[in-house]
Structure 1
Amino acid sequence: MWTSPPTTSSAPPPLPQTMTSDLHHVTMETFWREVRSIEEEIDGEEEEEEDEEMKSIDEVELEEAWLMEAGLSSLVTSSLSEEVPPPAEVLLSTLTRQQAATVRRRLDNYSETLKTRNRKPIRDVRDVFTEPNDEPAERCPAPPSPPESPLSQYHTTTKTIRRKAHRVRSTLPTFVFEDQPPEHSSSSTHTLSPTRTHSLCVSWSGQADWLLRDSPYSEGVAEHRRGGTCQDCVRFHGIDGGDVPFVPVAPSQGLVSADDLSPCDLTRLGFISHIELSTFLLALGVQTKRPRPPRRKTRDSGVFAVPLNSLLENDKKKFPEVKVPVVFQKLLCTLEQTGLQTEGILRVPGSAARLKYLRGELDRCCGEFDWSTVRQVEAAGLLKLFIRELPTPLLTHTHLSTYRSVLGVSSVVHQVQALQLLSLLLPEENRETLRALLAFLRKVVSHQDQNRMSLWNVSMVMAPNLFTYSQRGNKRSIAKQREGMEEAVGGAHLVRLMITHQDLLWTVPSFLLSQVRQMNQASNQKQFDLTKAKRRLLRRKNDRNQITELCAGVIRVQAPLHTKVSMAIQLDGQMRAKDIITRFECDHSSSVQHLYEVGGNICERRLHPDCLLLDVYRVNPGCDWLIKP
């Protein structure tokens, strides 16, 4: 949790000597100014509630919550139906060796903890994993381990963050930033072997080709934890400053965003992402511990302190397609229209009395509110106030501590990968609101020549609003001040990464989508309850049909909202989704049309316009093709 500076003095605490090196020092004044502004608005109302946040969840509750979030509720609850097979069997059949080991470890710890309390678990770990010593085979091959290379000097072993009040924590070398991207020394390229030269040249452009891997992130970091040469650290060590965005590399099947999938597929994606994130952080040596959520006031009406899902439920009565609360969109729109060129936007605080008045007016009559009377600094203050007063933080209580744990990862590439998995775990309303916020913050940074708000300044301002902090008294030791500054810089570092690499946060890696397909396929087999003989015969029949259809290369596209409701199309290696859409007349429709992959081993997926349909067909030959908005 982020700590605030002493309130007895208006000046921020002095920076440690280790963080004041000429141009590389971190300016903390922006952060502390924002913290003091927040303290003035809180005015001591939540001091009693914050003490409860320090308490950790009971170990049984923690393990039970983890298993529930991983889609393994049937292992900890007795509400099972004999007609429907437990979803745990379907999910476990798609896990890799390391992912299955993580589930086994969690379930074993849950069972042992219950036994010490003389409570019998619903299902023992030996019932789920019949042969504990025989780990399931990997569904995806692990990438080959790179040979020992001189580039191991760029790699540092991941450290676990442990908070101890009696010990002064050393400053983290990763958190030394500039407002400009670091200059890369050209001499480092001379140490490369001929086989490494091409891969590093690709890394200078920041191409995130690790999205295309068939193997999970957790399978490629074994060398990282042992302090050896990690493939990702070797390739991307030159841009560890974090200012150069990673460019997603589109596979032939097209990039998949989280909002391209159906709710059913998103649920299963969340199960796999949850297990993979825990496995990934464990492989990196990072331990996470979830605190108990604090009690916060929740309102049923108005704008502020109202849950996001309640706001969206009310907004969808007027705007059915809305994904972000209307008041939040209004605030962003007001700032984009008049505030992007305003110097110090987001940083300069507005009048506290004026903000209190505007808040009351918005709560009273949001639909009839006159936005023309709101100045830029007031809109910025209302935006930050809206984020802070959400009953559930925008990053959620469930994952907020895990976000902080990402600071224990030494490689920027692995930090971005962990943030990507975390973003896919957020509820839809939180994910879409965060996406709108990050897109706006990127626009603010793009106008830094006019508004004097660099990427680092924006990150420093937004960190105390996205990450909660607790006040620990006015008299604090030097160790507490140093810890508070490290946490401030750490929070700003996470915000900075999310702004810079936001396009990757919503992109589904290939291995996750592949595991979702495997889970759907296994679920379909369970649902039809086929015997081994029937499955063998059906597999042979499907194989013959698929070969015949693939040779014919013909698909049938359905478009029920168009004049041409159906069309048989011959596929070739160059045909893309946008080519199919242009063949249908849609003059009467003002909305953008998309081609969807429906059924087979996916519930529903909106295809990227540039994806090659023949490759999609090979992955899911049993799907239907549908054109709709």
Structure 2
Amino acid sequence: MTMEMKDSGSVVLTAYHPHSPARIPGMEQSFVQDIPTGHSPTSRKSLPRCRRINRMLSSESAPPPAFSRSNSQASMDSTSMEDFWCEVESIKESSEDGSEEATLLEFKPADEGELEAEWLQDVGLSTLISGAEEEDGQALLSTLTRTQAAAVQKRYNTYTQTLRKKNKHTVRDVRDIFGTNDSAPTFETVPVSPVPSNGIQLPGQKPVWKSVSSNSCLDCGLDKGSPSVTEELSYEVSFSESITILPKTQEWPKNQRFKKEDSALPKFIVRKSRFGLTEVGDLSAEDMKKIRYLSLIELTAFYDALGVELKRNRAERVRGRENGLFGVPLAILLENDQRKVPGIKVPLIFQKLLLKLEETGLETEGILRVPGSASRVKNLHQELEAKFYEDTFDWDQVRNNDAAGLLKMFVRELPSPLFTVEYLPAFITLVEKISKIKLQLQALHLLIMLLPEANRDTAKAFLQFLKKVVANEGKNKMNLWNVSMIVAPNLFIYKGKRANQQEMQAAATTAHIVRLLIRYQDILWTVPSFLISQVRKMNEAAMNNSKRQLMFDKGVRKLLRRKTMERDRPERPESDIPEGVIRVYAPLHSKVSMAIQLNSQTKAKDILARFHCENSCGSSQTMRRQIQSLHEIGGNIGQHCLDPDAYMLDVYRANPQAEWVIKPKAT
């Protein structure tokens, strides 16, 4: 289906999800304009595709985007842009052949108040709209930093003002939610820890901006990166709190300039805190839900701090197919696959296509760029739909370029884009409006945290494959920029009346996003530690609220009073384990538990080593093959698979009520 979203200027952002004969308006017009006099439109396809693309990219029809390159490298830029538009035309032609179907997704008009109401619901604060008192909402509010609280306050103010204009029901005053404090701090751009919900800027107060210092994170830009420079990233302070705000008089550059070389991207390393690093699969589903709430609030605060509008789409829900392989929503596809393989996180057909290409296609020259036969891909598509789940499909007959075509088709045919309809504009904005690589990476990081689990896991598998393609550049002739140019149209397609410089720049923008996703994927799928700290505080606040509510319950008070009177002697505590000693359980080991004294240098991997040493003789072969990890369970976290380098005394002090269990890490 084709989804059109109006973006800035005359550019139309399109997420292409094929389902019916679809055309790309404007693209064909620009190609026809390049046909020499005497050629009819029907003879357009007689020209070699790359020749037509080259002519489209020539200075007579449309100047190439202004890359920061020397004149001697201009032809290389045209070639890289040719890859993008060749892929666009290949997508268009495959839809014209009827192998794909498309539907136009209409977007509902919405006023600002409705958009803010949706935002409040998406961050888990629907109670601010309903007026109900809900513990989870209050717990979330109590964990917010000043910039995050200001972002919530701004959206709630807009929502209430819109309702008042419409003469709707009475709404709560923002001060009833956040509290009042005459000494509430203004926005100083220094790192701060989360503050109580009443310690925020009040209506009428103006933030205090600081100018950019020469050594701030804003100095890490695309044009300054080099292989010899490595910058350290820290996740201990929220992104919105740690940035230095630009003066309002300074504007972002209107036209970004991209360099294709890998050296144009700086190297980043993540500094491990004493809690180690946490990947998205290391937290429970309930805690990841809270991470998503906090990530949207943080992303909004981050964009607010930079003076950038966070654009979101509001689209009608389109129901995809409920059976089959292509054109099926990821959630439904996974639900069907999990009946066959319980616990699977990436669709089976997608995994099989990736495996086929990794086994035989990584060294194929032009893999992803050189299209397979349209007729063969169409037949394979139909045969897969009929035979895949019966395990009768012959994978040996599939050529590498055809498998690549099927892989890209799967991504395009998803009823909802892999990076979701709602946040496609935010992905584009982070490049168009934010000029520094480090800030782009931080925005991209939060957007990845926002993705639904199925989308995030599938995107991760896709990007891991693309990284392997780039690693084999010496044989397949596909470098990072080439791969990004080919993949970008399958995720983000821009279209217009003709391929002018603005549209060419838009093409480079989407390719740059894919390049960031491939290059920094190991960073992007790590959960920032400041978000985990907020989840802990949120869980603690919810537990405290529950305890208070329980104590006020009359029936419980009477029961406790009766139990106290009947008790002859004080009960022994459940555990006699002294401070700094934890009991670790290992159900799969012959020695199922062990008390371990912690010191300031004890790491999770040291505890694992103790168990492996104690159980080396009695361990089963199955247990040896499994990757064992230490898990933190309960207390102020749902479940947390610990980094082997995590310092256990720090983790214990952060969550003294947790249980500690050694078991296989979820995959």
Q: TM-score if structure 1 supplies the norm length?
A: 0.80
1:13 aligns with 2:57: yes
1:68-126 deviations in Å (ceiling 9; x for gaps)? 11110111236x5x7xx342211111111111111011011011112222222654423
> Structure 2 residue aligned with 1:62, among 108, 115, 132?
115
Q: Tell me the amino acid that sits aligned with residue 86 of structure 2.
A: R
Answer yes or no: is the 8 Å Cα contact 1:302–1:362 preserved in 2.
no
Match of 1:405 among 429, 441, 458: 429
What's 2:628 paired with? 593
In structure 1, distance between residues paired with 2:182 and 2:210: 28
Counterpart-to-counterpart distance in 2, 1:360 and 1:615: 55
Contact in 2 for aligned 1:245/1:500 (Cα 8 Å) = no
Count how many residue pairs are aligned between Structure 1 and Structure 2: 552
2:595 corresponds to which residue? 568
- Aligned partners of 2:65 and 2:504 also within 8 Å: no
Query: Would you say the 8 A contact 2:231–2:268 is kept in 1?
Result: yes
SS in 2 for 1:398: coil
Residue of structure 1 aligned with 2:167, choices 118, 136, 143: 118
Shift of 1:401: 1.4
Match of 2:19 in 1: none
2:459 matches 1:434: yes
Mapping for residues 238-317 of structure 1, pairs under 5 Å: 242-293=264-315, 298-317=320-339
Q: Which residue of 1 aligns with 2:401?
A: 377
List runs of 5+ in structure 1 lacking aligned partners: 157-172, 185-203, 229-238, 534-544
Amino acid across the alignment from 1:342: T
Label 1:264 to 1:285 Cα distance change in 2 as closer, same or farther (>3 A): same
| Aligned residue in 2 for 1:489 | 508
Largest Rg, 1 or 2: 2
2:639 alignment partner, SS class:
strand
Distance in 1 between the 2:217 and 2:384 partners?
55
Q: Give the residue type in structure 1 aligned to 2:539.
A: N
Aligned equivalent of 1:507: 526
Q: Is the 8 A contact 1:225 1:285 kept in 2?
A: no
- Structure 2: which 5+ residue stretches go unaligned? 1-12, 15-23, 35-51, 187-191, 201-208, 251-260, 553-572
Partners of 1:391 and 1:572 in 2: CA distance: 52
- Structure 2 distance, partners of 1:374, 1:261, is 38
Alignment correspondent of 2:482? 457
Q: Which amino acid aligns with 1:481?
A: N
Counterpart amino acid of residue 38 in structure 1: I
- The 5 A counterparts of 1:528-547 are 528-529=547-548
TM-superposed deviation, 1:127:
2.7
Match of 1:34 among 70, 87, 91: 87
One-letter amino acid of the structure 2 residue matched with residue 604 of structure 1? Q
**3-state DSSP class of the match of 2:662?**
strand
Identify which range, 361-370 or 334-343, moves more after superposition. Answer: 361-370
User: In structure 2, what is the equivalent of residue 106 of structure 1?
Assistant: 155
Distance in structure 1 (CA, Å) of the matches to 2:653 and 2:328: 46
* 1:519 corresponds to: 538
Match of residue 140 from structure 2: 91
CA distance in 1, matches of 2:531, 2:455: 21
- Residue identity opposite 1:503 in structure 2: D
Say if 1:420 and 1:505, in contact at 8 Å, map to a contact too: yes
Q: In the alignment, does 2:179 pair up with 1:130?
A: yes
Distance 1:75 1:146 in 2: 32
| Alignment match, 1:345 | 367
Question: What whole-Å deviation, never above 9, does each CA across 1:242-268 have from its counterpart, x for those lacking one?
Answer: 534422222221111111000111111
Q: Give 1:167's aligned residue.
A: none
Question: Is the contact made by 1:225 and 1:284 (CA closer than 8 Å) also made in structure 2?
Answer: no
Provide the C-alpha distance between the structure 2 equivalents of 1:443 and 1:287, rounded to a whole number of angstroms.
Answer: 35
Paired with 2:607 and 2:227, the residues of 1 have a C-alpha distance of 45
Q: Is the 8 A contact 1:74 1:87 kept in 2?
A: no
Match of residue 471 from structure 2 = 446
- CA change 1:91–1:390 in 2 (3 A) is same
Q: 2:617 aligned with 1:582, yes or no? A: no
Question: Which residue does the alignment assign to 2:18?
Answer: none
Matches within 5 A, 1:456-475: 456-469=481-494, 471-473=495-497
Distance 1:304 1:252, change over 3 A: same
Q: Report deviation, 1:622.
A: 1.9
TM-score, normalisation: structure 2: 0.76
Shift of the 527–378 alpha-carbon distance from structure 1 to 2, 3 Å rule, reads same
Counterpart amino acid of 2:330?
Answer: L
